[in-house]
Every structure is written in C-alpha cells, then in structure tokens.
A and B are shown apart, each in its own frame.
Chain A
Amino acid sequence: MPATTPASTGEPAVRVDGLTKRYRRVEAVRGLDLVAPRGRITALLGPNGAGKTTTVECCEGLRRPDTGTVRVLGLDPVRDAPALRPRVGVMLQDGGLPSTVPALEALRHVSRMYARPRDVSELAERLGLGSFARTPVRRLSGGQRQRLALATAVVGRPTVVFLDEPSAGLDPQARLAVWQLVRDLRADGVSVVVTTHQMAEAEALADHVVVVDHGQAIASGTVDSLVGGDGSMHVSVQPLAPHRAEPADAELARHLTDALGRSGHEHSVTTSSLAGTLEVHGPPGPELVHAVTGWARDQELLITSLTTGRRTLEDVFLDLTGRSLR
C-alpha cells in the first residue's frame, strides 16, 4: 500500500508525462504527455496505430512504461494496482469476456469483484442487454458485445473509466445509446477517457481532446479551442475554356490572403485541391466568398458548388499532420 495518497482533488484523473513504450522493433509511444481532467470526458483521437491503445493499457496497469510516468488518481497503475483496480473501470478493444459464458452471467461475475456494484438488472435494462442475456458471449453480435463490455466497465462504480474504441462496429442507434451512457457517467462525476479514430465521436462526446499521432500528443484542448474560429470552404470549379489547366491552389491561397488583406481582414488562408474541388481554410465570412468568386471570374472558372462551414477536427488533424485522419 502506498505511503502517500493524492493530497487533493486537484489531482487530475490521469496524468501521463513523457511516456515511451516499445514492442521489439516498433516504437508505439514516443514521449507522450497527457492530462485528463477529473469529472470530464477526455478523448484520445488519432488514426489506427497512433499509440492510443498502448497509452491506455499503461494507464490500466496492463503494460509497464519503458520510460515516463503514468498517474491515475495520483497513483501508479502498476505499483498501486490493488488500490486502483476497484476505482478504475476498463473496456478493452477486443472485449475480454469469457466466450462460453452467457452474457448476463459474465456481467454478474465481474460485478462480484466489487463491494458495492451497480444493480446488474438495472444496468442490463439500461443498455438493452435483456434480449441476449442468456446468449453465450461468443455468439453475440459486435454491437451486443460492445454494450456488454461497456456494462462490465462501469458495473463496479468506478471513479475513472477507460473505454478503448467504445463505439467501434456499432450501428447508429447503439452508438447513441453508448454516448448517452458515457454522458451519464460524467453527470455522476466519473472521469472518462475514451480512445477513438472518429472525429464525430470526439466532437460529440469530449470536453477535452488529445490528438495523438505517431506515439505523441500533437495537440490538446477543448474541441472549440482546437477548432478555433477558422472555418473551411469547399469550392468545386470547372474550367470554362477547355485549354486552361487545373487551377493552382498555391496561387489561389496567395490571391485570397492578399484580397482579405486589402479589405482590412489580415488573415492567412490556406488551400488544397483534389480533383477539381478546392478546399479553402480561412475565416468563412462574406469577404472570403467574395474573393473566391472574383478569382473564379478572373480565371474563367465556373463555380459548380460552394459550401462554407466551421472547421472540424478533421481539418485540425490535416493541418497538424498534412494527412487525413481516416
């Protein structure tokens, strides 16, 4: 038992500093820092293979960090495991329930490990487990298995919950049910850490997002602070004169930045083009639309569609890495 315990409630739910973890030749996590505030939903967002699962497995005490420190509720997940286990709920990416045991019995079994578990029947009803309560785990559909695994993660009334890709393979309805349960956990004061490679999930759920790529946290903050005030504009153009080449996007970016500057809006605009569709990142106001349409007239291009919108996490990821998240 540790001699010292977290001194105050100011201690975050999870704090990771300089975590590295290597598997034989693969360096899965390379100096990752992360803070998950108490009572909030924190999303680890990143493409597959970014190191999200390894990071949460270090937080769950399932893997030992090579270097760096991991603290959950101020405790070391490996050294203080007996103290932490009753307070931490885990949903693994690959399930983790015995395959021959009927679904409800598996949940009831895990509940027996805790002194004051949640009411199993109530939890089962809430997550709609009733229809497959007697079905062995191996015969459950992907969505049923996910819901059962989620129930298992929360049955012990944990203070911190780690959910690894909780809505992978779920149909939209089941996904909404899972999201609602995660929000209910937050309302109960539970700290939630969820990994996902879906921007929509991070945007819908998370109070705090940590963008992970190549084993490092490359940005973090609230969704609003990450997305910022910038928006994006998608413009599809079609040359009016057949001899004209595809429009050069670098040229457009320069033109738009200049045009905004002349109208008193100092703002840098970036663009990218793909098969006749231009993506413009900048403040999505009337000046930018005006500048784009003026440029299209000068270039003898027909605008076939033009949409504007707020920036998304996808845009943020693209800006940070130059690659698409999907």
Chain B
Amino acid sequence: MSLPVDVPAEQDAAVLHEQQAAPLARRVVAQARVEMRTVLRNGEQLVITLVLPVLLLVGLTRTSLVDLGTEDRIGLVAPGVLALAVMSTAFTSQAIATGFDRRNGVLRLLATTPLGRRGLLTGKVLGIAGIQLLQMAVLVAVSLALGWSPAIAGVPGALLVVVLGTAAFTSLALLVAGTLRAEAVLAVANLLWVLLLAGGAVLLPASLLPAPLAEVAVLLPSGALGEALRTVLTEGAVPLVPVAVLTAWTVLLGGAAVRLFRWH
C-alpha cells in the first residue's frame, strides 16, 4: 500500500485546466479529422457520398433515359447532384455514424474527455464541412468536364444555400440519431434518403413530379435545397421562397434536436 502523494489541488482550477487540456482548436480539429477519416474509410459511406452522386451526374447527363424536359441536361442535373450530396453527407451519413456512436458509448466517453459535448458537436460539423468541400470539388470538376456553365454571379448565393441546407439536414440527422435506437436510425436514415431522392425534388425539379407531390416537395427541406440551388446556379439570384423554407426547417429541426437529443 502506498501513501497518497500531494496533488496540486491548491492551484486554481482554471490553471490546471489549461495545463492539462489541449487547446480547444486542436481538440476540435482532431475530432473533425477522425470524423472525416471515418467516412472516407467506410465503403458504404463513400458510395453514398461520392460514387453514387458521380454516377448520377454522368448517367443523367449522358443518357436520355429520364426525360428532363430541357436540352441543357447538365445545367439541371449538376445543381441537383450537389443538393443530393449535401443531403447524403449532412443527413444519412451523419445520422448513421452518430446513431452508432451513441449506442457504442462513443459520445459519452468523448464527453468525459476535455473535448466535451460542445467540442464533439463542433468537431462533427467541421468534419461534415470537410467532407462536403471534397464532394463539391469532385462533383464541380466532373460537372465542368461534362460541359456545365453555371451562373458565376450565383456562386456566393449557392454557398449560402449549401450552408443552410447542411444546417437543416445535420439537425435532422442529430434529431434522428439522438432519439432512436441505432438499428432504427439506420433504417430511417436510408429510407428517408431513398424517399426524398425519389419524391423530394432534391435531384430533379419538382416540376417533373406528379401534381400533388410537386407542391408538397418544394416545402420539404430536400425540395427547398434542390430548387434553391437550381435557381441560383442558373439565374444567379437567390430565390427567396426556398431559402425561407430551408431557414424555417433549420430552426424547427435544430430546436427539436437540442431539446430531444439524448446522450445515453
């Protein structure tokens, strides 16, 4: 049996904190890097975040299997694929990752380290942003190679819409991941992705959907994101209605996630 040794408890707690925790930026960046590597290492995640969007981009542009009602196929498809990529990364991929991390105690363990709960969430958001930068770079490059000529004046507006869409879908991801069991998160995240892809006006414009669905779809976060990106990247001006819809969803879903998210 050994004697208790002196512990520097007289020191101010704040001083100890600074002595022993890594700086905030380093903690958050470390978390963001792990989040990004987890996506890039995982085959299924790569399919949904990169492979599938590229296939859709090429397939819908180079074949006429789907009647898009326009000659400028790439002008319509490229913004839609960007919107889909935002939805895949911020929602489906993030919901599944967070749902399983929650079940496996990862969220709780990291919350006991100097990273803390806020650092963990910030790291996740930065990780999503990093993945999206990568996605955008690849998808924009492929689109340009396929002959896309977006409205340059619309680029800043498009970035704003992407940020807003990411906020709305990340909130939805955390809401689902923080309230349901991991298996249910997996099912809901994949199902919603398929349903919104088919009828949510994210990839293809609402005008191509049957009448009642078309009116509903533009009010969904998927439709608002898709319509906003299509408009701003072809006409150069930010459309107010879809942006307002997206903002409303962000507030609603973000508020619900903050209230209902359970760490255990």
Interface residues of A (CB under 8 A from B): 1-2, 5-9, 11, 37-40, 60-63, 73-75, 80-88, 90, 92, 94-101, 109-110, 112-116, 152, 156-157, 159, 186-189, 191, 207
- Check if B19 is an interface residue, CB within 8 A of chain A: yes
Q: Smallest distance from the beta carbon of B263 to chain A beta carbons, Å?
A: 7
Contacts beyond the supplied A90-B112, A113-B115: 10 A-B pairs with Cβ under 8 Å: A40-B4, A86-B16, A86-B19, A86-B20, A99-B106, A156-B114, A157-B20, A187-B2, A188-B5, A189-B6
Given contact pairs A9-B6, A39-B4, A187-B2, A113 touches B113 in the complex (Cβ within 8 A): yes
Asked whether, in the complex, the Cβ of A112 is within 8 Å of the Cβ of B105, the reply is no
Q: Give every chain B residue within 8 A of A6 (Cβ-Cβ).
A: 9-10
Asked whether, in the complex, the Cβ of A92 is within 8 Å of the Cβ of B108, the reply is yes
Asked whether, in the complex, the Cβ of A2 is within 8 Å of the Cβ of B34, the reply is no
Q: Smallest distance from the beta carbon of B39 to chain A beta carbons, Å?
A: 10
> Whole-angstrom distance between the alpha carbons of A160 and B22 in the complex?
18
Q: Give every chain A residue within 8 A of B1 (Cβ-Cβ).
A: 207
**Can you list, as one digit per residue, whether each of B23-42 has a CB less than 8 Å from chain A (1) or not (0)?**
10011001100100110011
5 contacts between A and B (CB under 8 A): A39-B2, A60-B112, A86-B20, A95-B105, A114-B22
| Nearest-CB residue, chain A, relative to B119 | A113
- Check if B100 is an interface residue, CB within 8 A of chain A: yes
> Whole-angstrom distance between the alpha carbons of A82 and B37 in the complex?
27
| Nearest-CB residue, chain B, relative to A93 | B105
Asked whether, in the complex, the Cβ of B4 is within 8 Å of the Cβ of A38, the reply is yes
- Check if B211 is an interface residue, CB within 8 A of chain A: no
Q: Nearest 9 CB-CB pairs, A to B?
A: A39-B4, A96-B109, A189-B5, A86-B20, A96-B105, A83-B13, A86-B21, A112-B30, A90-B112
Asked whether, in the complex, the Cβ of B17 is within 8 Å of the Cβ of A83, the reply is yes
- Across the interface, A114 reaches (CB within 8 A) one of B13, B21, B263, namely B21
**Can you list, as one digit per residue, whether each of B195-215 has a CB less than 8 Å from chain A (1) or not (0)?**
000000000000000000000
Count of chain B residues with a beta carbon within 8 Å of a chain A beta carbon? 46
Majority secondary structure, A binding face: loop
Q: Smallest distance from the beta carbon of A232 to chain B beta carbons, Å?
A: 25
Asked whether, in the complex, the Cβ of B9 is within 8 Å of the Cβ of A97, the reply is no
Interface residues of B (CB under 8 A from A): 1-7, 9-14, 16-23, 26-27, 30-31, 34, 37-38, 41-42, 100-101, 104-106, 108-116, 263-264
Asked whether, in the complex, the Cβ of A80 is within 8 Å of the Cβ of B111, the reply is no
| Nearest-CB residue, chain B, relative to A2 | B13
Q: Give every chain A residue within 8 A of B20 (Cβ-Cβ).
A: 86-87, 114-116, 156-157
> Whole-angstrom distance between the alpha carbons of A88 and B19 in the complex?
14
Q: Smallest distance from the beta carbon of B131 to chain A beta carbons, Å?
A: 15
Q: Give every chain B residue within 8 A of A38 (Cβ-Cβ).
A: 4, 7
Asked whether, in the complex, the Cβ of A9 is within 8 Å of the Cβ of B113, the reply is no
Q: Smallest distance from the beta carbon of B24 to chain A beta carbons, Å?
A: 10
Q: Smallest distance from the beta carbon of A124 to chain B beta carbons, Å?
A: 18
Given contact pairs A113-B27, A114-B21, A75 touches B108 in the complex (Cβ within 8 A): no
Asked whether, in the complex, the Cβ of A83 is within 8 Å of the Cβ of B104, the reply is no
> Whole-angstrom distance between the alpha carbons of A112 and B113 in the complex?
10
Q: Give every chain B residue within 8 A of A11 (Cβ-Cβ).
A: 9
- Across the interface, B13 reaches (CB within 8 A) one of A5, A62, A88, A92, namely A5
Q: Give every chain B residue within 8 A of A61 (Cβ-Cβ).
A: 111-112
Given contact pairs A86-B20, A113-B114, A92 touches B2 in the complex (Cβ within 8 A): no
- Across the interface, B38 reaches (CB within 8 A) one of A97, A100, A157, namely A100
Q: Smallest distance from the beta carbon of A202 to chain B beta carbons, Å?
A: 15
Asked whether, in the complex, the Cβ of A62 is within 8 Å of the Cβ of B115, the reply is no
Asked whether, in the complex, the Cβ of B105 is within 8 Å of the Cβ of A94, the reply is yes
| Nearest-CB residue, chain A, relative to B31 | A109
